[in-house]
Structure 1
Amino acid sequence: MDERRRLDYLGAMGVDVWVPRLVAAGRIESSDEIAVVEPSRILPPARVSDPADLRPVSPSAQPIPRTPPAHAEAHEVAPNPVVPGPVASGPVGPALPEALSPPDPALMDWDALAAAVSGCRACGLCETRTNTVFGVGDRNADLLIIGEAPGAEEDRAGEPFVGRAGQLLNRMLAAIGLAREQVYIANVLKCRPPGNRDPHPEEARQCEAYLLRQIELLRPRAILCVGRVAAQNILQTDAPLGSLRGRWLTFRTGAIPLRVTYHPAYLLRSPEQKAKAWEDLVEVVRRLRGEGCAVIGKGNDKDQSD
């Protein structure tokens, strides 16, 4: 069979051929000069966007299909298999060792509580304070006085009510026959807020456990809240001070009588309100003496009357 007829047969079978320049010129000397190209080696014309993409494809560049042996199918394992197991109902991971758990103020005595407050970093106020202000006075006192937060002078001294407001508070106590050393004085916050601003709710929450433990350890017969912020935080209300003062309230559980009065710093700015503050103080001392009302006792460690 001559080469011309062979080319015709190949064309009829759908086999494309590449004819060298010699064949095109009609000078075919050997069949080795004809390279048969299978259709799968040529890019479909519909997918070609640039004539430059029509390049000869080397057979060595084509991927060789791999057919897995029949016996391997039974042992095929998916990558990273997920093995079903029991679903844990408790917390994930091991529990923290007891030594790493934050200490519970409710379990502390006075000294441990004071040390915890001194090293407290539960809120951002620890970054701006000079000293923490834990509290001062008789740890067996009948009367607990609660203020709002330390001011600049209290922050420097580490003691509540040491400025002009503190001096007025001392005179108010002396007027009802009590010395500063005979009562216990604490604040809602143990650190000074910058610029003496009102405490933020989250700051008061961080200090709350410390104050509650102080009240529990002290077990006072009466609480005197001085100022709106202290009263609202202790009573957990947003009522104005004017509606809170002038009557007896109770501290949360109802076991301790509580009275609200004006803050000494406010009385320095508004001396005309001192008469109302005096009325509140008189009621407090009457409560402590048990005049005309029941006295909340502490068992046998304290007398029921003065």
Structure 2
Amino acid sequence: MSESDRRLRRAAAQRLESLSAAGVRQISKRRVARPDVVEAAMEIGATRATDNSGGTVVAKSLAVLQQEVAACTRCELLSQQRTQTVFGVGNPQARLCFLGEAPGADEDRQGEPFVGRAGQLLTKIIEACTLKREDVYILNVLKCRPPGNRNPLPDEVHNCRGYLNRQLELIKPEFICCLGSVAAQTLLETDTTIGRLRGKFHDYRGIPVMCTYHPAYLLRNPSAKRDVWDDMKRLMRELGIELE
């Protein structure tokens, strides 16, 4: 077996594992790893960064904003209790952003969003979509961990909203995926439940937004994985990737 064949086998095995974690139990053999699907996925992570020299400028601007966030004390309680702020991670020119609600204990320790159990599941979902974490950009509404992992308070969301808006203005994603009710309701400025928001596209300043359940919810309710996968298929279709 050639090295190329071994790489293909490893990639196929990893994709099957990611599909299973994402809740996909049946797949069509003829649509897995199609060349056009692979090419579309590669374009999502690479085209804007390689073809646009502005990527370095965006990264530097994000770094400046990250320093501003790190010095923020607008929420006295959160700024006193945090280990560090959790700004965001990924491709600064990503076509797709995943938006969560707030850091948890693992994220507070490591300074990176979605690294705990819910984050590991999100990674599997991203990989099931034939992408990698470094192809997309992952961020939260809040940049500090709320005590006890409680939901963010309205004042906390308000204090962080400007940072979120500026992040998205710099990245200029073509699509945003909101994970959970806090992210969706904050970005879209609505009190509509996530159950009613998911499954269709919404608008944020001209950017299409897909809302779906938070990975932490999926850990408690595995049966909802099918709904999330349906949402991902709709989203990926708009990005040029057909998933089974």
Match of 1:209 among 162, 180, 198: 162
Distance in 2 between residues matched to 1:288 and 1:228, nearest whole Å: 23
Q: Give the total of aligned pairs.
A: 182
Question: Which amino acid is 1:123 matched to?
Answer: C
Letter of the 2:181 counterpart: R
Partner of 1:287: 238
Q: Structure 2, unaligned stretches of length 5 or more?
A: 1-59
Tell me the TM-score normalized by structure 1.
0.58
Displacement of 1:226 after TM fit?
0.3
1:1-306 matches, within 5 Å, as 109-124=61-76, 125-251=78-204, 253=205, 255-289=206-240
Cα distance in 2 between the residues matched to 1:111 and 1:130: 19
| Greater C-alpha Rg | 1
Runs of 5+ consecutive residues of structure 1 not aligned to the other structure: 1-107, 292-306
* SS of structure 1 residue aligned to 2:130: coil
Distance 1:169 1:279, change over 3 A: same
Supply the distance in 2 between the matched residues of 1:138 and 1:278 (Cα, whole angstroms). 23
Aligned letter for 2:112? E
Deviation string 1:19-41 (CA, Å, 9 cap, x unpaired) is xxxxxxxxxxxxxxxxxxxxxxx
User: In structure 2, what residue type is equivalent to 1:110?
Assistant: L
User: Match for 2:67: what amino acid?
Assistant: A
Deviation by residue 1:175-225 (Cα, 9 ceiling, x = unmatched): 111100100000000000001111111111111111101100011010000
Measured in 2, the distance between the counterparts of 1:116 and 1:198 equals 23
Q: How far apart, in 1, do the equivalents of 2:64 and 2:123 lie? A: 28
Report Cα offsets for 1:69-126 as digits up to 9, x if no partner. xxxxxxxxxxxxxxxxxxxxxxxxxxxxxxxxxxxxxxx9212101001111111210
The 4+ residue runs of structure 1 with deviation greater than 2 A are: none
TM-score after normalising by structure 2: 0.73
CA offset at residue 271 of structure 1? 0.4
In structure 1, C-alpha distance between the alignment counterparts of 2:203 and 2:189, rounded to whole Å = 12
The equivalent of 2:56 in structure 1 is none
Larger relative contact order (CA 8 Å, sep ≥ 6): 2
Q: Distance in 2 between matches of 1:269 and 1:178?
A: 25
Point out the structure with the larger helix share. 2
1:263–1:236: structure 2 CA closer, same or farther, 3 Å change rule? same
Helix, strand or coil: the match of 2:97?
strand
CA-atom RMSD in angstroms: 1.2
